[in-house]
Amino acid sequence: MYDRAKIFIEGGAGGNGCVSFRREAHVPKGGPDGGDGGHGGDVVLVCDPSRRDLGALRGSKHFRAGRGKHGEGSTRHGAQGEDREIAVPAGTQAESLDGSRVDLVNAGQRAVVAHGGRGGHGNKRFANSTRQTPRFAERGTGGEEGWIELRLKLLADAGLIGLPNAGKSSLLARLTRAAPKVADYPFTTLSPALGTIEDDDRQAVLADIPGLIEGAAEGAGLGHEFLAHVERCAMLVHLVDLAPLEGDPVENYEAVRAELSSYGAELDRLPELVVLSKRDLLEATQVGAAVEEWKKRLGGEGVEVLAISSATGEGLGELRHQIFARLPETVPARMEGSGGAEAEFEAEHRVYRPVGEGGYSVQREADGGFRVLGRGVELLFERHDLANEEALAYLEQRLNEIGVVAALRAAGFEPGDDVRVGDQEFELHP
């Protein structure tokens, strides 16, 4: 099972706005009619229950959404770029490029991890009573891009834990229709396996967590990867081999408990059902004595102790009953709902609030020039062509309106000094 994947994602670039004027017979002074560019597509994670792990993402690591189409004359707006959907299994977690956390648990649930760029406005948008024939338009902006890491944490109600060869795979195969690999040597199971048990009108999902060893919380034996799957479980079924080939049953139990505590995430506080496995290897009197001894040892902690045999089926009915008795009746919040998130209405503009007074700040640089910092101002210059005199005049007007020119003057700016915004540098003559 592939529990992790690192991929590069890129939102589609927005299309450019169009500079166009009406050209019709008998209309000698047609007005501007340039259409807007389309927004770039988003990169979207989609929860697909048919997926079992993240292995499909290992071969293809780059995902790019479609670019928005450019605007055209006659007020024809460009089409929006196609979203790039990435199918992931239920239980996938990630962090989107804007820093928000993503946790996909329901079939069809969607989460945008890289937003596409915004389409530029056509020249029709800039027409007003004093600027009746604008000969400039906005350029589309680039989409978000970068690397993100996906991590899978299985959705299970109860996790089967224990040292290697404690009998977890055999138990899962006996209780459910799952078919995990079963053999008489340690570390038979190399990836978590799921199975479903039923009791009257209820169902529960069991996860066979591969064998933990000492140091698992620090990553020994891939234990750190396996322990991550326990985080979503509502309870633990801790298998302890009554007749282990190595070690003492009590020491083996304590070793696993120590790893749960070391890992964190409050795994050691989950409700626990201690199951003494392979009872068929001991006499009935020995089994009874072992159960009583374990109950005395753990009785003060409210832990139930059972003895079972996956080979003969002894104790499995009681085990199934105890699992359902300890699971909450209500469905956990992570499993509620029928699917995808509700559709959100798309805003025409995103609101950027950079650090600094008024959404921007002004710095004087060592060479005497001035730099204006602020995402909103940088976007303004990214959208316009500084080689276009009308676009430059419009930018100067906007800088006056939002107070940037006043802030420059307060910092010692003189007309003709160099001003830098993002990657752009120009002389300003307000």
10-residue mean pLDDT profile of the chain (430 residues): values are: 81 95 74 93 91 77 94 93 92 85 87 94 90 91 93 79 81 72 42 73 77 45 56 85 84 85 76 90 90 84 82 91 80 38 37 50 88 88 87 87 89 87 81
Among candidate residues 118, 114, 115, the one with its CA nearest the CA of residue 15: 118
Q: Is 68 exposed, middle or buried (0-12, 13-18, 19+ CB in 10 A)?
A: buried
Angle between the N-to-C axes of helices 168-175 and 316-326, in degrees from 0 to 180, rounded to the nearest 10: 90
Q: Give φ, ψ of 149 to 5 degrees.
A: -110, 130
Number of domains comprising the chain: 3
> Considering the domain boundaries, does residue 345 fall inside one?
no
User: What's the confidence (pLDDT) of residue 353?
Assistant: 41
> Considering the domain boundaries, does residue 183 fall inside one?
yes
> Considering the domain boundaries, does residue 338 fall inside one?
no
Co-location of 307 and 176 in the same domain: yes
Task: Identify any residues that bridge with 257 across adjacent strands, giving them in sequence order.
Answer: none
> Considering the domain boundaries, does residue 95 fall inside one?
yes
Biggest CA pair distance of the chain: 108
How many CA atoms lie less than 13 Å away from 390 in the CB half-sphere?
13
Q: Alpha helix locations (H) across 51-167?
A: 56-59
> Considering the domain boundaries, does residue 283 fall inside one?
yes
Domain termination residue (choose one: 132, 152, 172)? 152
Co-location of 170 and 147 in the same domain: no
Co-location of 276 and 189 in the same domain: yes
Q: How far from the centroid of its chain's Cα atoms is residue 98's Cα?
A: 11
> Considering the domain boundaries, does residue 395 fall inside one?
yes
The residue behind tokens 């069991």 is 206
Domain termination residue (choose one: 299, 333, 367)? 333
Co-location of 303 and 257 in the same domain: yes
Q: Three-class SS of residue 318?
A: helix
**CATH classification of the domain holding 2:** 2.70.210.12
Domain housing 285: 158-333
The separation between the first and the last C-alpha atoms of the chain, rounded to the nearest angstrom, is 63
**CATH classification of the domain holding 365:** 3.30.300.350
367-373: Cβ within 8 A, 24+ apart: 367/418, 368/417, 368/418, 369/417, 369/418, 369/419, 369/420, 369/425, 370/408, 370/411, 370/413, 370/417, 370/418, 370/419, 370/420, 371/419, 371/420, 371/421, 372/404, 372/408, 372/419, 372/420, 372/421
**CATH classification of the domain holding 303:** 3.40.50.300
